[in-house]
Amino acid sequence: MSRDPGPVFGALADPTRRTLLSAIGDGRSATATELAASLPITRQAVVKHLAALADAGLVEGSRSGREVRYRLTPEPLSEAVSWIAEVGGQWDQRLASLSAQLGEMPK
């Protein structure tokens, strides 16, 4: 894995950020104004959340006139999922080994 998954997990820890990712996760780009229209928070709050998502590499903004259009960049999320799978696999191996050792112990 090439990136530290910490920033991705930090960004995903906030439910509003997860909601924003879901909103733009369908492949369409959206502006902060468009996203704020469906949320109970201000446009400025949406912009701050989008900045945190951008810092983690999860979204990318591109200027379109006076607005910035944001789109999902799924690579960091895929890398974080791979990290989870790798760590989960290590634990599966450890637990299987422990189970085998416990099964060999006299009762």
In whole numbers, what is the pLDDT of the chain averaged over residues?
A: 89
CA distance 103 to 100: 5
27, 74 Cβ separation under 8 angstroms: no
Residue 96 lies in a domain: yes
Residue 1 lies in a domain: no
Q: What is the pLDDT of residues 6-41, one digit of tens each?
A: 999 999 999 999 999 999 988 789 999 999 999 999
Domain with 97, as residue range(s), is 6-104
Tally of domains within the chain: 1
pLDDT of residue 107: 61
Q: Could you tell me the CATH number of the domain that includes residue 57? A: 1.10.10.10
Q: What is the pLDDT of residues 45-90, one digit of tens each?
A: 999 999 999 999 999 999 989 999 999 998 998 888 888 888 877 7
For residue 25, give the amino acid letter: G
